[in-house]
Amino acid sequence: MRALFAAAAAVGLAFFVLPVAAIFLEIAPDDLVGRMGDPVVRDALTVTLKTSAVAQALILGIGTPAAYFLASRRFRGRSLLLTLVELPIVLPPAVAGIGLLAAFGRLGLFPTSIPFTQLAVVLAVCLVAGPLYLRQAIASFEAVDRTLVEAARTLGARPARVFARVALPLAAPGLGAGAALSFARGVGEFGATIMFAGSLQGLTQTLPLAVYSEFDRDFELALAIGGLLVAVSALVLLAVKLLVPWTRFAPTFPFLSAPSPSS
């Protein structure tokens, strides 16, 4: 019986690890590093870093106060609102892409010339990766002991000071983990981006889009970009695990299971 369970674990693990390992087995380390100089890679890396940075700034800048508001207020329809926030997480990215076109396309609800620009990449990333941060941030603010907030107020702190000196520092590890997750998700964004922003080299072609456009033209280059993305993902995961040291096995997507803000 125990052997059966162990075998299941072995097969599952091997299946998860194999594709990642295959990338590094199929291309020699020298070649992998050498191909980083390729203009396609450099353009894609620049676009990815630029759009990710702007998207993250928007997500953190708007998401943090929004999460604090949603975490500290109780009002009618709050659960509905929180469910709506989580919807994009489970939505197929292609649907997010077509939705963005329907909203901001030239023939959309609010006609703009955003599609197929770098701003379109930023918006696609925000829509797909933002909710990850928002949900994690809400859970982190909810986990801050209410008594500490009340103590701060009785000590004369106005709401802005309570936020800056008490809530924000205490929620910081959780916020950091959320930011890392949404960053990773944003860097890997594919479906919504290709539909709403296209895949124009040097303008809207991010690293994952470059993998796709190169794989039937230059398989080795696609592998090299894949290796780069694996490295980025591994670093993000490591950062998350370091930021949330008090959970032995922190589920990286806690919001998909029952949220436990107090633990």
Partner 1 sequence: MDALRADLSVPLRSFPVELELEVRAETLALVGPSGAGKTTVLRAIAGLLRPARGLVALGAETWFDGRVDVPPEGRRVGLVFQEFALFPHLTVRQNVAFGGKQRRRLDGAQERRFRLGRHRSGNQRADELLARLGIRRLASARPSELSGGERQRVALARALARDPGVLLLDEPLGALDPHTRGQVRAELREQLGRLGLPTMLVTHDYADAAALADRVGVIVDGRIVQLGTPAELLAAPASPFVAEFTGVNLLVGTARPAPDGLTEIELADGTRVRSADRLEGRVGVVVYPWDVAIARAAPDDSAQNHVRARISAIVPLGNRARVTLGPLTAEVTEASAERLALRPGETVVASFKATAARLTPLA
* Chain contacts with partner 1 (rule: CB under 8 A): 145, 147-148, 150-158, 161, 165-166, 169-170
Q: Which two tokens stand for residue 106?
A: 């030239």
User: Nearest approach, Cβ of 153 to partner 1 (angstroms)?
Assistant: 4
User: Nearest approach, Cβ of 169 to partner 1 (angstroms)?
Assistant: 5
153 vs 241 by CB, closer to partner 1: 153
Spatial distance between the Cα atoms of 56 and 125, rounded to a whole number of angstroms: 9
Spatial distance between the Cα atoms of 127 and 144, rounded to a whole number of angstroms: 27
Spatial distance between the Cα atoms of 55 and 61, rounded to a whole number of angstroms: 10
User: Nearest approach, Cβ of 56 to partner 1 (angstroms)?
Assistant: 24
Spatial distance between the Cα atoms of 133 and 126, rounded to a whole number of angstroms: 10
User: Nearest approach, Cβ of 73 to partner 1 (angstroms)?
Assistant: 15
74 vs 158 by CB, closer to partner 1: 158
User: Nearest approach, Cβ of 242 to partner 1 (angstroms)?
Assistant: 18
Neighbouring residues of 122: CB distance < 8 A, sequence distance ≥ 6: 51, 54, 55, 58
Q: With contact defined as beta carbons under 8 Å apart, do 200 and 114 qualify?
A: no
Residue in 233, 255, 221, 251 with CA at minimum distance from that of residue 20? 233
Q: With contact defined as beta carbons under 8 Å apart, do 232 and 187 qualify?
A: yes
101 vs 162 by CB, closer to partner 1: 162
Q: Could you give the angle at the alpha carbon of 200 between the alpha carbons of 112 and 227, nearest 5°?
A: 125
Neighbouring residues of 77: CB distance < 8 A, sequence distance ≥ 6: none
170 vs 230 by CB, closer to partner 1: 170
154 vs 260 by CB, closer to partner 1: 154
152 vs 207 by CB, closer to partner 1: 152
Q: With contact defined as beta carbons under 8 Å apart, do 200 and 210 qualify?
A: no
245 vs 251 by CB, closer to partner 1: 245
User: Nearest approach, Cβ of 156 to partner 1 (angstroms)?
Assistant: 4
User: Nearest approach, Cβ of 59 to partner 1 (angstroms)?
Assistant: 24
Phi, psi of 105 (to 5 degrees): -70, 170
**Which amino acid appears at position 17 of this protein?**
V
Spatial distance between the Cα atoms of 163 and 47, rounded to a whole number of angstroms: 34
